[in-house]
Chain A
Amino acid sequence: MDIGFEYSARTLTVAPEGELDHHAAKPLMNAIGDRIDTYLPSQCVLDLKGLTFMDSSGIAVILKTYKRMKELGGQTWVENAGRQPMKVISMSGIERLVKIVY
C-alpha cells in the first residue's frame, strides 16, 4: 500500500492508497504511529480519497490513530471517504469518537 504523508501547521495528513484490509492494516498502523511519534502533531487527518476498498481493519486503524492522538491531547479527523469505506465507517459508530468530514 502506498501512503502519502504531509505535515504542516501541526497537522499530520495521512493519505493511504489502494485497498485497506487486514493485510495492509498493520504496516499502515506502524507507519502512522512512527509519524505521530516524530512530529507530535496536534491534529491527524486521515484522508481516504485514495482508498478503493476498506473493511473493518480500517476501523481498527482509525481507532488506533484516535487513541494515539488522544494520548497527545490531539484530534483525529477522517475525510473524503468513498461510498464503500463510508458504509463500513457508518456501521462502526466511530463517528462518536472521530470527526468524519464529507
Chain B
Amino acid sequence: MHEHDVLVIGGGGAGLRAAIAAEEAGADVAIVSKLHPVRSHTGAAEGGINAVLREGDEVEMHAYDTMKGSDYLADAPAVETLTRESPKETIQLEHWGMPFSREEDGTVSQRPFGGLSFARTTYAGAETGHHLLHTLYQQVVKRGIEVYDEWYVSRLAVTDEDDPEDRRCVGVVGYDIRSGEIAGFRARQGVILATGGPGQVYAHTTNAVANTGDGYAMAYRAGVPLEDMEFVQFHPTTLPSTGVLISEGVRGEGGILYNADGERFLFEGGYANNAGELASRDVVSRAELTEINEGRGIEDDYVHLDMRHLGEERILDRLENIVHLAEDFEGVNPLEEPMPVKPGQHYQMGGIETNEFGQTALDGLYAIGECACASVHGANRLGGNALPELVVFGKMAGRHAAGEDLGEPKVPVGRTDDSEEGAVETPVAPGAVDEGEDLAADGAGDDAGDDAGGIVEAAVAAERERVELLMDREDGVNHADIRERVQETMAQNVNVFREEDGLKQALRDIRAAREDYQDVSVTDPSRTFNTDLIHTIETRNVIDLAEAITLGAMARTEFRGAHWRKQYQARDDENWLKHTLLSWNDGSPELWFKPVVLEGELQTYEPKERSY
C-alpha cells in the first residue's frame, strides 16, 4: 500500500496547485492521475484568468459581476474568496514564469470578456490554459512531488457509517493502467479530488475524451452530495464538426456574430442590446439557437463568427491559436472568412458540494476545480472565472488538507437546520438497478472497522472483485454502445432548451442504459494498458452523472442562468434562491435543498433583473 499525508487525485490545474500548496505547508503529498499531468484538459483553456490587477478595477466589481453572472445562485463567501485571492494567485503564476502576453511596459496583458465591467481577463495568447498547466507542472517537478501518472483512481476508501456525513475518507484505490495492478493509497490527512469536468456526458462537447466525471461519481456514490448539477454551460462558439472551442477572446477582441441574413443578431434581435457579443455565455448560446431554430442559421446548424476586421497583425498577436484550430479542425481560414460556430457543452457549474476551503461533507475528503461546487458560478459561469477558481481553491484545499488553520468557513456543507427535503416525480426509478447487488455501485462504506489501513484494503478487495467480474464476463454489452446512447439523449433532451417531455425521455433512456450496463463486459483480456476496461468503468460514471444532471433539471421549475425550462419562463426568487442537492443514499437518490448565501463581507448581493 502507498501512503502519503495528502493525496491529490487528478493532475490538472487545480490538482497541481493543491499539491504545491500542500507541499509548501510541509505535507508529504502525491498526485495520482489517469493522464500524465501535461495531458490534462486545463491545457485546452484558451481565454484567460479574471484578476483585479489594474487601477480603476476593484475586487468588489469582480465579485458583483460574478454574482450577477451566476444569476444570484453563487454563494457570496466563495465568490469573494475567488475575487480576493485571484490577483495574488495570478501574479504568483507570473512569478513562476508563466509566459503571459505583455504590454509595452512589460506588465501582463488583460482583455475584455463577457459579463465583465472591466477588462480584467489576464491572458497568454489564446492558449492561457496550456501555459498555466505547464507552469504549474514545472513547479511540481521543481519540488520533487511524487506523481503516479497513468494510475486511474476508481474508488474512494471510506468508513461505513449509515449517515454519509459521519463517514471519513482515508484513501483511494488506484489501477495502474500500464501493468493492471490494483493498489491501495492511504491518505493520512486528506484526499483532494481534482478530476475535472463531465463533458463526455454530452455528444457535442469541447471537453476531452478523458473528462468522464470520475471524481463526481466516486464521491456521489460514497455519499457526498452533488450540488446544482442541472447548470451546464453551453459555450456559444464551438466548431460544429468537432466541438473544438473557439475562445471567447475572439469576441473579447471585437469578433462579431452574424446569422444567415448577415444580421448582427445579438443587437438586431434584441437579445443583448448593451453588451451584444459580450453578453454572458448562457444569453449568447440561447440567442444563437433561437436564430438557428427560427430558420436564420447557416445550413440550419450554425452561425458565423467573424474576426477579419481585427486585422492580421492583431489576430496573430493575440489569437494565433484560433487560426490554427479553425484551419486544422474545420478547414476554415479565419483571416479570410468567418468561422462557423454553434453552442456546445463546455462546463459544469455544479459539482461536489464544498465550502470555500474545498471541504466536502465527508471528513478527510476535498474537491476543487470543475468537479467541485463551492459555489462560485451558480447558474452561469463567466468566461475567465474557471482558471482563477483552479488556482485559488487548489491553494486553499492544499493548505487546509496539510493542516493549516484557515479560520471558519462561511459556506455550509451537508444538511443543516436550513436545508429542506425535496421530491421530484420521475417516469422511471432513478438510482441503482438492483440495490445491494449492483457491483459497480461502489463506494458507500467498506465494513472493515475503524482501522484506516484495513478500510483501504477492503476497498482494494472490492475493486478487484469488480474488475474481475467485468473482465471475466463473456458476450456482454460494449460500453461504447451504452455511452453513445447516453450522450445522444443528453444532447437532444437536456440541452440549452429543456422541455418536460424531453427530460422524461432522457431519464427513460438513462435507465435503459443503466440496465444494459448490468451486462457490460470487457473484450480485451490484457492487463497491459487495457483502455477497454478503463472506458467501461468510466461509462458507469457517465450514466450516474447524466442522471444527476437530468434529475436536477426536472426538479428546478424555473428559468435561471443556463437552466431554461419551456414551461417555466421566469426566474422565481421566491421559491428558488436555493441550491439543488442530490445524495446517492446507497442507491436511492434523495433530493434536498439549501439556501443560497447572498451575504458577503463586501456586501449583500440583492437579486436584480439580469440584462446585458
Do A and B pair up? The answer is no
- Contacts from B to A (Cβ < 8 Å): none
